[in-house]
């Protein structure tokens, strides 16, 4: 399924191919929130210069991918106009592309924002709606030869935590992601440009999140790289007895989730704390390699 596929070239054929995933270890996607209302960093990097400084720090810590977003998807978040979202993210992506060859992801569910982000140097789209909110998203990604992360979510960010319910959360999320991957392929997106994310914390109660972390095997069996984004989320702090504020206090629990995700077969973890996560995953990945060698 091409887990280490390159990102291809843009519509003009001028962007050099970039490998999206490192070989032999779990990739770390560093989060760059260019928003005033993110749950995890409270708008700390809401301006382009602040976001660039933060992105450079994540690169120095070893981020394999940078995920740039201009619209919060925290529970209860309200939509942001496309013009505002573009104004937040495009200067950051443009500057990052000039500064690094590390793959860049645009975190958006709007095709018009994604189009402009890809034009200035993004390699992939991280869409929390899995291409459902904007009918133009999947055709756009296919046309540009870009990659896409398809995520599961019940409802919308504004409503997703009101009353999430499942009969079999792992089975239902797996079926949803399989269907969205097929929709992406039908739209013309190459199989090796598709990543899947079960959407930890997106329309899920703590028990649902735990079931997904414990039950990644059927998702991995779909044959696409699995992305897990549990970093700093409230259910982790609750489980670990950590204080709700500051959210940085959730780091130990976030590291545990990243290690469990890697052990379960996830290829990518989306995190706020890149350096600490890289160190924890070095042990997890080495242990997995040793287990395979001893078989």
Question: Which residues are annotated as catalytic?
Answer: 233, 270
The answer for residues whose C-beta is within 8 angstroms of residue 95's C-beta and 6 or more apart is 48, 52
The residue among 282, 280, 288 whose CA lies nearest residue 263 is 288
Secondary structure (3-state) at 196: strand
| CA distances in angstroms from 89 to 46, 52, 96, listed in the order given | 10, 10, 11
Cβ 121 vs Cβ 90: under 8 Å = no
Cα 103 from Cα 58, distance rounded (Å): 13
Give the Cα separation of 241 and 117 in Å (integer). 39
For residues 191-205, one letter each, b for 16 or more C-beta atoms within 10 angstroms of the residue's C-beta and e for the rest, the string is: ebbbbbbbbbbbbbb
Determine phi and psi for 27, rounding to 5 degrees.
-80, 150
Question: Which runs of consecutive H residues, i.e. helices, occur in the chain?
Answer: 48-61, 82-99, 111-119, 137-144, 169-186, 206-214, 217-220, 234-240, 251-263, 274-294
Q: Is the dihedral of CA 24, 174, 221, 224 positive or negative?
A: negative
Run of H or E including 127: strand 124-127
DSSP 8-state symbol, 6: B
- Give the rounded distance of the alpha carbon of 285 from its chain centre: 20
């Amino acid at each position: 399924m091409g887990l280490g596929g390159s990102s291809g070239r843009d519509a003009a054929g001028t962007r050099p191919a970039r490998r999206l995933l490192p070989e032999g270890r779990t990739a770390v996607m560093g989060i760059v929130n260019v928003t005033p209302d993110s749950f995890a960093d409270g708008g700390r990097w809401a301006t382009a210069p602040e976001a660039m400084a933060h992105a450079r720090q994540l690169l120095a810590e070893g981020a394999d991918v940078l995920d740039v977003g201009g619209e919060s998807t925290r529970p209860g978040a309200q939509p942001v106009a496309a013009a505002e979202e573009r104004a937040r993210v495009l200067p950051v992506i443009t500057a990052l592309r000039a500064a690094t060859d590390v793959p860049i992801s645009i975190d958006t569910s709007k095709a018009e924002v994604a189009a402009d982000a890809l034009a200035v140097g993004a390699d992939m789209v991280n869409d929390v709606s899995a291409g459902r909110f904007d009918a133009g998203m999947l055709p756009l990604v296919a046309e540009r030869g870009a990659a896409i992360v398809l995520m599961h979510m019940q409802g919308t960010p504004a409503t997703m935590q009101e009353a999430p319910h499942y009969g079999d959360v792992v089975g239902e999320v797996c079926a949803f992601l399989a269907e969205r991957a097929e929709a992406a392929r039908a739209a013309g997106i190459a199989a090796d440009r598709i990543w899947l994310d079960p959407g930890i914390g997106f329309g899920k109660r703590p028990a649902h999140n735990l079931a997904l972390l414990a039950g990644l095997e059927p998702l991995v069996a779909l044959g696409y790289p699995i992305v897990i984004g549990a970093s700093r989320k409230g259910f982790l702090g609750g489980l670990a007895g950590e204080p709700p504020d500051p959210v940085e206090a959730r780091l130990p629990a976030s590291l545990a989730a990243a290690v469990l995700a890697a052990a379960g077969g996830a290829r990518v973890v989306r995190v706020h704390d890149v350096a600490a996560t890289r160190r924890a995953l070095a042990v997890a990945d080495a242990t997995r390699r040793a287990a395979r060698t001893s078989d």
